[in-house]
Each structure stands twice: as C-alpha cells, then as structure tokens.
Amino acid sequence: MLRKEVIIENELGLHARPAAKLAETAKRYRARIYLKKGSRKAEAHSILDVLALACTKGSVVEVIAEGEEAEKALSEIVALLSSRGA
C-alpha cells in the first residue's frame, strides 16, 4: 500500500469538474485508490464520494493506492490534485 499527502491547489477546491477528472483517471488503473481527509475516506473512482469530502483550496488529502498499478496511479492522482487547474 502506497500513501502520499497532497495539498489541494485549485482555487475552487475539488469541485465537480476536477472530481470527474479524478474519477476518470482512477478508473484507468488496476489499483484501488482512495482519498482520505481527516477521518473520512472516499473511493477515488466515485465522483460522489470525492465530492462528499468537501475539499477546499488548501485541504490536506492523503492519497492511498494499492494493487497492481498502485505506483503509477498514485503518481498521476497526486499530480492531478497538486495542479492549480485540476
């Protein structure tokens, strides 16, 4: 299991469009990918789960990946969440 903390950089936080992009990206990998904010955990492939975390700009989120393509998935998801445009 791989883990990495990331700070949400998007001015609007993790709203509908970036949540959809995140879910689409997560579905491409043979890995289980989760986001954790505080005590709440969401499956990255579920837009609704991601939106329920209510991540605003500056939120610290832990990305957790496990499975066959965990390393690649973790890298791409972290990059996506760290960018200002996502």
Looking at the DSSP bridge assignments, the partners of residue 46 are none
Task: List the pLDDT tens digit at each of the 86 positions of the chain.
Answer: 999 999 998 899 999 999 999 999 999 999 999 999 999 999 999 999 999 999 999 999 999 999 999 999 999 999 999 887 65
d(CA 18, CA 77): 11
d(CA 78, CA 22): 10
| Domain 2-82: top CATH class | alpha beta
pLDDT at 40: 97
Active site residue 45: no
Residue type, 49: D
Catalytic one of 2, 9, 13, 15: 15
Q: pLDDT (tens digit, 9 = 90+) per residue, 12-27?
A: 999 999 999 999 999 9
pTM: 0.91
Domain ranges for the chain, please list them. 2-82
